[in-house]
Amino acid sequence: MLATVEPRDEPDLRKRRGAFFTPAPIADFLAAWATGGRPDARVLDPTCGEAVFLLAAARRLAANGADPATTGEVLHGVDLHQASLEHSRALLKAEGFDANLIAGDFFAQPTPAQLGGTLGWMDAVVGNPPFVRYHDHKGQTRRRSAAAALAQGVRLSGLASSWAALLVHACSFLKPDGRVALVLPAELLTVGYAEPVRRWLRERFASVHLVLFEQLQFRDAEEQVVLLVAQGSGGCDAFALHQVRDAEELERLHVFDGVAVAPQAQGKWTDLLLPTERRALFRRVTTRHFADLGSYGAPELGTVTGANAFFALTEATRERFNIAGNDLTPIVPPGTKHLQGSRFTRGRWEQLRLQGERVWLLNPKTNRPRGGLARYIAHGRGLGVHDAYKCTVRTPWWRPPVVGAPDVFFTYMSHRYPRLIANEAGVSFVNSMHGVVLRADAPTIARDALPLLALNSVTMLGAEVFGRSYGGGILKMEPSEAAVLPVPSPALLARAWKTIHKRREHLDELLRAGHWQQVVEEIDAAVLIQGAGLPPQDVLALRFEASRLRRRRTRKDD
């Protein structure tokens, strides 16, 4: 009998609290390992939901020789959602099992090492912690969770989602030789806020296994997941990494099938998604022939207006209110759909101006607005723009902190891949993209060369490794992530540009027409084969991995 979702618990309600139904093969696999063949293993599910894991553990204990009537002494579950607990109890009872079910916030449960602890030491922790993002994980619950993690020596940032603290707190209930088997979001590998957790894993457990899936495993959820299977204490130098297609392959997973990996001491572990040989190839090529984008210039945010619809003006609005040119700054319109190809020219800006796009940014130089400017500001006040948060924290509210024109634009939200675009028009920008002002010692060709030469398989693979995946397959790169994007080193840039610069117009036409794969092949030949001297088979391997991770993220073919 499989656990089912309680009928009154609608999908939207579960989604809001980060709860998703765990496929039975995953729960069975983790419960079997966690109980370790013992009939008396004490098992804790800190967010037990609809009893998927408790049922799997109960069945496993019974198979190991336990009396079903005694499972209430060794199975323990906690959950905030009373209806889920009632459903769990009914499901367990229907199969002759029992469990100690506690209604409440798991973070309020003292550990066995603290005064007032009632749950006691556990042989295993299993489950699927709710994935509640930082903007919903707030108030007293966030403070309590952060304190629980800090009590175990893990200091989490304010951006941390709920699963991070729950993992740390749950493991504080384990015996020294205890086991943890949890479903976690793949953010464990990819996001900056999980850095303390990644460091803690290496220091806490004697053995760590990570299981990665090629396909999505959760109904109604777009999150990629990773299975964390760890035991013992004292720290470890390497992890075992397993890659499977889906949950059905788990039963064929053998203990000796894993590949030993030594995660980086700090930073993301996204490159663990790459097979060992190709991960080594990627690291070798980037170390020898590539440089961080930040070494050319630091990526920075565009102007944060608080209300782009008001502060970004069309030519018609400028004329209607008769706003003088010195109170405006030319910009690339908000969004990135206007950034086609590898260049943004003055001619393209003029075209967008005539087409009625928002090409002006309000940037008054005076403290005493008059005439058309005063009328437009009054118009904004009538719309309530002055009450927008970003407007309330600056004086005067109608003067946004306009950033200067960058040398290169960077599209930090992407479907296929992030792009660099040469800002030949010399215009400013808002925060729908990043900008890069090149360092004084950057090569003079960098503005023109980087946008095209970054369309190589190493840089595109680097975007998948260092960026972060969001729902719907969007790849996002914050300034700190964009800064470590591998791009051709100055020496490689110079060599490849000698080959490519005469083809610039043609390649730009191909990009605007959507033939980006053809462009990548030509850039790979110039950058990786001719410039870096890589064998063609290595280039094909890197291109394949970039495409594979992109398909994994978007669930679409290139």
Instruction: Answer whether residue 432 is part of any domain.
Output: no
**292, 315: one domain:** no
pLDDT at 489: 98
pTM beyond 0.85? no
Q: Which strand (E) or helix (H) includes residue 316? A: helix 315-321
Burial tier of 381 (Cβ tally within 10 Å: 0-12, 13-18, 19+): middle
- Number of separate domains in the chain: 3
CA-nearest of 239, 126, 137 to 189 is 239
Same domain, 168 and 146: yes
If asked whether residues 396 and 411 sit together in one domain, one would say no
The pLDDT score that the predictor gives to residue 4 is 41
* pLDDT for position 2: 34
Residues 451 and 532 grouped into a single domain: yes
Q: Which residues pair with 313 in a beta bridge?
A: 360
Domain limits for position 357: 303-402
Same domain, 456 and 333: no
Query: Is residue 430 situated within a structural domain?
Result: no
What torsion, rounded to 10 degrees, do the Cα atoms 285, 290, 292, 297 define? -170
Residue 79 is inside which H or E element, if any?
A: strand 75-79
Any domain includes 43? yes
Claim to verify: residue 387 and residue 469 sit in the same structural domain: no
157 and 66 within one domain: yes
Residue 126 lies in a domain: yes
Q: How far is CA 425 from CA 334, 337, 353, 495, in A?
A: 15, 16, 13, 27
pLDDT string in tens for the chain (558-residue length): 233 444 444 545 444 444 456 888 899 999 999 999 999 999 999 998 878 999 999 999 999 999 998 899 999 999 988 888 998 899 999 999 999 999 999 999 999 999 888 999 999 999 998 875 544 556 787 888 889 889 999 999 888 888 999 999 999 999 999 999 999 988 888 888 889 999 999 999 999 999 888 776 555 545 688 899 999 999 888 888 888 777 778 877 766 566 677 777 777 787 887 888 899 999 999 999 999 999 999 999 999 999 999 999 999 999 999 999 999 999 999 998 888 899 999 999 999 999 999 999 999 999 999 999 999 999 999 999 999 999 999 999 999 999 999 999 999 888 888 999 999 999 999 999 999 999 999 999 999 999 999 999 999 999 999 998 776 788 999 999 999 999 999 999 999 999 999 999 999 999 999 999 999 999 999 999 999 999 999 999 999 999 998 988 887 777
Q: Are residues 359 and 413 in the same domain?
A: no
* Half-sphere CA count of 14, side-chain side, radius 13 A: 21
